[in-house]
Amino acid sequence: MDENNVILLKDVTRSFGEKQVLKGVSLEINKGEIFGLLGPSGAGKTTIINILTGQLSCGGKAEIFGVNCGKIGREVYRRTGAVLDNCGLYERLSCADNLRLYASIHRVSSSGISEALALVGLDGCEHKKVKALSKGMKQRLCIARAILHRPELLFLDEPTSGLDPATASVIHALMSDLRRNGTTIFLTTHNMDEAYRMCDRIALLSDGTIVECGEPGELCRRHCSTSELSIVTTEEERITLTNMPENADEVAGLIRGGRLKSIHSSEPDLGTVFLRLTGKELDK
């Protein structure tokens, strides 16, 4: 394992009964990056998180901080934090009580609780019962719990799923802050826009295999080299042309004839890339 690697997966397989969910997944995630795992529901994203956090056994090689995921001990758990699809908060307890439990587990002082709550914008909510919080506030509380002990690696399992854009942007800002502080983030999502904007690198997961991995922009360029030109003429006619030399004369003709109202290249997005590679659409 490279010293810079935080996570290493090599030919990881996992089955549930007859169904093989992961069919030889290989990944390397570097220190300090936001790595996004994109795939539709049921692709195996959460299974990978469960394997990496030692909750599930697997075939192949899975390591986190150089430790076999099947033998993770307290030392590794102290260096990681997780925000799961299911929040896992004690609804009858207050925000502070929820964090107090984890503060004791991770040996964090009580001042750390207030700091974590302030960091996610929940200062003043210490005594509020969790069941009285909105979904977005619960998600932020989950993040506060996950970063309470300042982990080096943070697992975020669809952290903005079902949230309004304002709350989602608060969470994105938090992720950016964490990355600036050197935290490695493993993000699973099926929101391609979120992945494109937030991630340094992404992997596309489909049917238990990684179909592509790399920087989001680079992936788009690699798989959609024939970007398109969307043209609107002065007669409000909409023309779509591939951005190829053979179409240059047609564009020049529109310009010369004074018929060009607007022109822009439409860059392919990750959803298009995913569709081209797998023939499937990512969930909206």
Partner 1 sequence: MRTFTALFIKQCKDSMRNLPSMMILLIYPAVACIMVTAMGSEEGMSRFFVTMFGAMHCTFAPISIAANILSEEKEKGTLRSLRMAGVSMVNYLLSLSLFVILAAMLTGSLFLVMDSFDTKYAIQFCVTMLCGDVLSTLVGLCIGICSKNVAAANGMAVPVGLVLALLPMLARFNDGIAKAAEYTYSGQISMLLEGGDVTGKTIGVCALYFAGLWVALMILFRRSRTESIQ
Contacting partner 1 within 75-104 (CB under 8 A): 76-78, 80, 82, 84, 86-93, 97, 100-102, 104
Q: What CA–CA distances, in Å, run from 210 to 27, 83, 174?
A: 8, 23, 28
Query: Interface with partner 1 includes 74 (CB under 8 A)?
Result: yes
Instruction: Tell me the one-letter amino acid at 10.
Output: K
Query: Interface with partner 1 includes 168 (CB under 8 A)?
Result: no
Burial (CB < 10 A; 0-12, 13-18, 19+), residue 11, is middle
Query: Interface with partner 1 includes 244 (CB under 8 A)?
Result: no
Angstrom distance (rounded) from CA 164 to CA 140: 13
Query: Interface with partner 1 includes 57 (CB under 8 A)?
Result: yes
Query: Interface with partner 1 includes 17 (CB under 8 A)?
Result: no
State the sign of the Cα–Cα–Cα–Cα dihedral 86, 87, 88, 92: negative
Q: Report H helices in 27-94.
A: 45-52, 74-78
Q: Nearest distance from residue 209's CB to partner 1, in Å?
A: 21
Nearer to partner 1, 101 or 248 (CB): 101
Nearer to partner 1, 65 or 77 (CB): 77
Contacting partner 1 within 245-274 (CB under 8 A): none
**DSSP assignment letter at 89:** -
Six token digits for residue 41: 């529901």
Give the one residue of 71, 73, 245, 258 binding partner 1; rule: CB under 8 A.
73
Nearer to partner 1, 82 or 137 (CB): 82
Q: What φ, ψ does residue 208 adopt, rounded to 5°?
A: 80, 10
Nearer to partner 1, 86 or 226 (CB): 86
Q: Nearest distance from residue 121's CB to partner 1, in Å?
A: 21
Q: Nearest distance from residue 1's CB to partner 1, in Å?
A: 21
Write each residue from 112 to 151 as x if it is in contact with partner 1 (CB under 8 A), else as -, in one continuous string.
---------------------------------x------
Angstrom distance (rounded) from CA 265 to CA 101: 53
Starting at the earlier edge strand, list the strands of the sheet with 80-83.
80-83, 153-157, 184-189, 34-38, 201-206, 209-214
Interacting residue ranges for partner 1, rule: CB under 8 A = 50, 53, 55-57, 73-74, 76-78, 80, 82, 84, 86-93, 97, 100-102, 104-107, 145
